[in-house]
Structure 1
Amino acid sequence: MKLEKVTKERRWYDDACGTALALEFVGERWSLLVMRELVYGPRRFGEIRANLPGISANVLTQRLESLEAAGILVRRRLPSPANVQVYDLTDWGRDAAPLIRDLGRWAARSPRHDPLLFMSPASMMMSFDALMDRERARGVRLTVGCRFPGDGFVVDVDDGRLSVRRGEAAAVDATFEGDTMALRVTVYGKMPFGGEGGATVTGDLAAAQRFVDLFRLPEKIA
């Protein structure tokens, strides 16, 4: 195989390691979080910004442009009647989703991880994928809905595997409704259904409890 030198206007690292190149793509502040918000489908500029508290419109524009230039995301316009511009991950960009998930699971073991800070709906869904006990989930098959203000997801558990999609399902075993803090209190805080501050739970409550029992926050490092 012939090796060819690739010249670029700017390099952060003089290093052939793929990890170094990955950091050039997503190492700037906010880049990975922008990608996280797009894992479950296209989002409008305002929707991305609303779920990244602290980012300015100018910085978000810069991150979107750099991710687009790297081939990680694309801009496109939804057909009528929506007729709005959205941002979406490319197939290659979406391949990074397990990396973002695993990085989150790794960092959650730090004593500095604060589960009470802001969390977007997309981040909440990714936490399910990161923190589900796969062994406990073997043999479990159920579908739940998660309704947040302005957003909704369907979570499928199928014999140790978990998948998430944005939207509504025709039939679910149970539905959790509230903001992300309410869902965290219910799922990770193990508050009994109906407890103050928790999510509203409807449908098959036994199925909802089986779902909740699949998740726990990881042990912290010493």
Structure 2
Amino acid sequence: MLQYRQMATRAAKSAPRSYDQYCAVARGLDVIGDRWTLLLVRDLLLGPKRYKDLLSGLPGIGTNLLAGRLRELEGTGLIERTVLPPPAGSTVYQLTEAGQALEPAVVALGRWGARFLGQPRKTDVMVPRAYFVAMRGVFDAQAAAGITETYEVRIADLVFEVRLAGGRLTTSERRPSNPDSVLTMDVDTLNALMFRQIKPSAAIAKGRVKIEKGDHKALERLVRIVAFHSRLSSAT
């Protein structure tokens, strides 16, 4: 209880605006309701990030606005700064326990928001990190039953880990130590695969996906487990 009181005090001091309602929904929106805030949380769900990584991964945010949002999230106790061990030694931002607790809400919001996606607009940017958080929401546990496998997925200069074990899926932005499969593609291809607009075999045959390690069936297994459901795919 003391922890929640302390967080409430920090939130009251850090929130730039408030609905001034004694309501948990309103108070939660005081903390995370500003533009860009939940997208920062979304990206940090994949692991710690440097300032420049967050900036490059959120086109349009602007450096001053990003700095302000990070200060607010630090002030409310949702993120913290830490220094990576050598040889990196970089200062990174990471979610606290309270920030990590937003994962179910972010994943659920993604599932709910998918109905409004439609076709990509001309101004839309496909952000690789968004897809690896989305995988958590569309993950097919039945299709993953009995599969223990680690995938390294390379998109431009970003590297992601997708791990399947015990009927569960985890995704993170890092290089796995010993992946079973290594796949290289661009974000347009990832989008097409997840929305079932291209078959894995066709993506490989056309050179849109390169199998750096593992067998060609690995991509089929991954898509079967993390692609959007057919009803959503046809709607978009």
2:221 is aligned to: 210
1:102 and 2:102 are equivalent in the alignment:
no
Note the C-alpha offset of 1:196: 4.0
Note the C-alpha offset of 1:123: 1.2
- TM-score, reference length from structure 2: 0.80
**Higher helix fraction (1 or 2):** 2
Call closer, same or farther: CA 1:120–1:138 in 2, change over 3 Å.
Answer: same
Q: Is the 8 A contact 1:142 1:207 kept in 2?
A: no
Q: Which moved more, 1:42-51 or 1:155-164?
A: 155-164
Q: 2:191 aligns with which of 184, 188, 197?
A: 184
Give the distance between the partners of 1:18 and 1:171, measured in 2 at CA: 44
Give the distance between the partners of 1:186 and 1:111, measured in 2 at CA: 16
- The alignment partner of 2:142 has SS state of coil
1:198 is aligned to: 208
Call closer, same or farther: CA 1:193–1:171 in 2, change over 3 Å.
Answer: farther
1:76 is aligned to: 82
Give the distance between the partners of 1:57 and 1:11, measured in 2 at CA: 21
Structure 2 residue ranges without an equivalent (≥5): none
- Number of matched pairs: 218
Q: Is the 8 A contact 2:128 2:155 kept in 1?
A: yes
Q: Is the 8 A contact 2:45 2:100 kept in 1?
A: yes
Q: Is the 8 A contact 2:152 2:159 kept in 1?
A: yes
Give the distance between the partners of 1:80 and 1:170, measured in 2 at CA: 17
1:34-183 matches, within 5 Å, as 34-110=40-116, 112=118, 114=120, 117-183=124-190
Note the C-alpha offset of 1:15: 2.6
Note the C-alpha offset of 1:136: 2.5
Give the distance between the partners of 1:204 and 1:72, measured in 2 at CA: 41
- The alignment partner of 2:71 has SS state of helix
Structure 1 residue ranges without an equivalent (≥5): none
Q: Counterpart of 1:156 in structure 2: which amino acid?
A: R
Call closer, same or farther: CA 1:196–1:115 in 2, change over 3 Å.
Answer: farther
Q: Is the 8 A contact 1:174 1:205 kept in 2?
A: no
Q: Which moved more, 1:74-83 or 1:173-182?
A: 74-83
- TM-score, reference length from structure 1: 0.85
Q: Is the 8 A contact 1:173 1:208 kept in 2?
A: no
